[in-house]
Amino acid sequence: MREEKQPRLLTDLLERNAARYADETALVELNPIHDDAKNLAWKDYALVETGHSAHYRSELTWKEFDDQANRFANMLTDMGVKRGDKVAILLMNCLDWLPIYFGTLKTGALAVPLNFRYTSEEIAYCIELADVSVLVFASEFRGRVESVRGELRGIRDYIYVGMDPPETAKSFESEVKGYPADRPQIAETIEPEDDGAIYFSSGTTGFPKAILHSHASLFSAAETEWRHHGQRHEDVFLLIPPLYHTGAKMHWFGSLMAGGKSILLKGTDPGWVLHTAAAEKASIVWLLVPWARDILDYIEEKGDEIKGLDLSNWRLMHIGAQPVPPSLIKRWKRHFPRHDYDTNYGLSESIGPGCVHLGTENLHKVGAIGKAGYGWQTRIVGENGADAEPGEVGELIVKGPGVMREYYRNPAATAESLKDGWLYTGDMAREDADGFIFLVDRKKDVVITGGENIYPVQVEDFLNGFEKVKDVAVIGVPDERLGEIAVAIIEPKPGQSTPEAALEKEILAYLEDLPRYKRPRKIIFGQVPRNATGKIEKPKLREKYSVGSVVAKQVAE
């Protein structure tokens, strides 16, 4: 056995856990029973029945995890993958995802996770932008990949995860088993400042940009998360968001640091989340705002179903990726008074959550995103670059160990966002007298109506407090007289029976507590689209409603 060294890389943490906790469970995958049974057949799944649903369950120990990462690294090396090459990962959350990611890092190649919601065109765009030479993809994406295969000229090799691989792709399952589980020699030469991964921006303000991070940046995310939430070896982390995104994976890095077990839950059904948390004795659950709302609605509608569930191990619920309505947390604490609550702010450009951190001890500041996280600095600046006064709105900028190296192959965008080591986030914020930062809105989402600035997040937070509203998005649309006006797209709670005309009147009456200039000029009842990380897809809404809508109703001025 190799002597344990001081970890400097994520792969060091994995190898340390494999040595310390060899036979302990590292990862558990839970699949809903309605998933394609054929594509699950090659795995060692157990069929599990619960009071809520039936599902397939499989797990990996820490040693199996590291062994599989090494085998995949040796497979890539045998295929000719070299330091600096890019390996794209297009998979749903599964037990293979993280061993493939870590195996890629062990070769000195860059891991390039892809959003599983990408269209064929977006897959081709991102692969070309990131100079990807190897694509790992699963059966769910076979059609999308094959439809643009002719455009993927830089791809040398395809690796297929699933049953019945196409003739033009190598089979992950059949080939990786044939490689040794020895640590690849090249792993000894990888340094923290080497390039480690390329992530893509969420695309909420346009087409995705490729974000280049070093190994040191990735490692800093693990340390920041562990410092913020104090993960212990005995903790069990219930992981629901997609692993391709920095949010989910970097929160999991805290469990990696502690050697704790994690549950990969494929699905967001609130009943299943609660039953899984009880069955797997989850102690930490990271949620997005819509999922937290769904859980609370479920509890309030079907409370009898969960009365017998033992959720006593659950100690921490934290939320990120978007502004969190204070009304939601007050409601959560009514049902779960013993839970610690936390929120983290971050961007893929700052290697995910943690550059701003509220802290569980600051429940009295719910609504704020917090203060500078572990190892980070923050400022709020005006248009001239000078620091804003307390209470003044400006752009939030951050500096720390997880700031991206660059927007890959985009020097103009890099120069616009990185200045003297500071990352300009594009988020408008203010700081209170105690130094806590409150997010106001995206700089590009601010609505300027008749010369007045309206920050949609503030209006959304207000409307989220109305009991018949499930979700809401506020956008600006062009207006001849005022330049643009604020429009509220409101998704009513399911099951409430108030007719739209009457509901609109109730909402307008509720809005009278806002200053007149902040009140939306139009109400639209419809679905609020969110991406896989819970962020409202406002470009889609602006495109849909900017020309007007037959269901939009002009509010009297």
Q: How far is CA 124 from CA 51, 118, 127, 135, 145, in A?
A: 43, 9, 5, 11, 8
Measured between alpha carbons, how far is 112 from 135 in angstroms, rounded to an integer? 9
Q: How many CB atoms sit inside 10 A of residue 556's CB?
A: 5
Judge if 408 and 510 occupy the same domain: no
The answer to whether position 274 is within a domain reads no
Q: How many CB atoms sit inside 10 A of residue 421's CB?
A: 10
Measured between alpha carbons, how far is 134 from 156 in angstroms, rounded to an integer? 6
pLDDT tens per residue across span 176-203: 999 999 999 999 999 999 999 999 987 5
For the cut 50, the answer to whether the pLDDT of residue 78 exceeds it is yes
Residue type, 310: D
Residue type, 444: K
Measured between alpha carbons, how far is 202 from 205 in angstroms, rounded to an integer? 8
pLDDT tens per residue across span 254-295: 999 999 999 999 888 899 899 999 999 999 999 988 889 889
Task: Count Cβ atoms within 10 A of the Cβ of residue 93 and give its class: 0-12 exposed, 13-18 middle, 19 or more buried.
Answer: buried
| CATH number of domain containing 414 | 2.30.38.10
User: Which residues share a beta bridge with 477?
Assistant: 485
Measured between alpha carbons, how far is 201 from 206 in angstroms, rounded to an integer? 9
Judge if 178 and 55 occupy the same domain: yes
Judge if 221 and 368 occupy the same domain: no
| CATH number of domain containing 531 | 3.30.300.30
- For the segment 136-162, the average pLDDT, to the nearest whole number, is 95
Strands 236-239 and 157-161: unpaired
Judge if 355 and 494 occupy the same domain: no
pLDDT tens per residue across span 155-180: 999 999 998 899 999 999 999 999 99
Q: What is the pLDDT of residue 317?
A: 96
Of the residues 391, 416, 444, the one at which a domain ends: 444
Judge if 457 and 365 occupy the same domain: no
- What HEC string does 183-207 produce? CCHHHHHCCCCCEEEEEECCCCCCC
Q: Which helix (H) or strand (E) holds 65?
A: helix 62-78
For the cut 60, the answer to whether the pLDDT of residue 34 exceeds it is no
The answer to whether position 337 is within a domain reads no
Q: How many CB atoms sit inside 10 A of residue 240's CB?
A: 20
pLDDT, the chain, mean: 89
pLDDT tens per residue across span 312-327: 999 999 987 667 888 8
Strands 86-90 and 110-113: parallel
Q: What is the pLDDT of residue 351?
A: 95
Judge if 106 and 210 occupy the same domain: yes
Judge if 103 and 115 occupy the same domain: yes
The answer to whether position 301 is within a domain reads no
The answer to whether position 302 is within a domain reads no
The answer to whether position 266 is within a domain reads no
pLDDT tens per residue across span 410-463: 999 999 999 999 999 988 899 999 999 998 877 777 787 766 778 788 888 889
- For the segment 26-45, the average pLDDT, to the nearest whole number, is 64
Unique residue bearing structure tokens 């594509």: 39
Judge if 176 and 213 occupy the same domain: yes
Unique residue bearing structure tokens 């007050």: 330
For the cut 50, the answer to whether the pLDDT of residue 110 exceeds it is yes
Q: What is the pLDDT of residue 360?
A: 95
* Best CA proximity match to 132, nearest among 193, 200, 75: 200
The answer to whether position 24 is within a domain reads yes
Q: What is the pLDDT of residue 46?
A: 66
Q: Which helix (H) or strand (E) holds 58?
A: strand 54-61
- For the segment 142-167, the average pLDDT, to the nearest whole number, is 94
Judge if 492 and 546 occupy the same domain: yes
Backbone angles phi, psi at 530, to 5 degrees: -130, 150
For the cut 90, the answer to whether the pLDDT of residue 557 exceeds it is no
Domain carrying residue 196: 10-237
- For the segment 95-124, the average pLDDT, to the nearest whole number, is 95
Decide: 493 and 468 in contact? Cβ < 8 Å.
Answer: yes
| Exposure of 150 in the CB half-sphere (CA atoms within 13 A) | 1
Q: How many CB atoms sit inside 10 A of residue 461's CB?
A: 19
* Best CA proximity match to 465, nearest among 326, 259, 293: 326
What sign has the CA pseudo-torsion 230, 340, 402, 262? positive
Of the residues 413, 444, 475, the one at which a domain ends: 444
pLDDT tens per residue across span 345-374: 999 999 988 999 999 999 999 989 999 999
Q: How many CB atoms sit inside 10 A of residue 157's CB?
A: 16
- For the segment 219-245, the average pLDDT, to the nearest whole number, is 96
pLDDT tens per residue across span 46-75: 666 665 666 788 999 999 999 999 999 999
Of the residues 237, 253, 274, the one at which a domain ends: 237
Spell out the alpha helix ranges (H) of 302-354. 303-306, 326-335
Count of domains forming the chain: 3
CA angle 176, 177, 180 (to 5 degrees): 90
The answer to whether position 5 is within a domain reads no
The answer to whether position 390 is within a domain reads yes
Decide: 129 and 259 in contact? Cβ < 8 Å.
Answer: no
| CATH number of domain containing 110 | 3.40.50.12780
Judge if 229 and 363 occupy the same domain: no
Q: What is the pLDDT of residue 346?
A: 92
Judge if 402 and 513 occupy the same domain: no
Q: What is the pLDDT of residue 342?
A: 96
The token pair that represents 78 in the structure block? 């045998």
Judge if 233 and 351 occupy the same domain: no
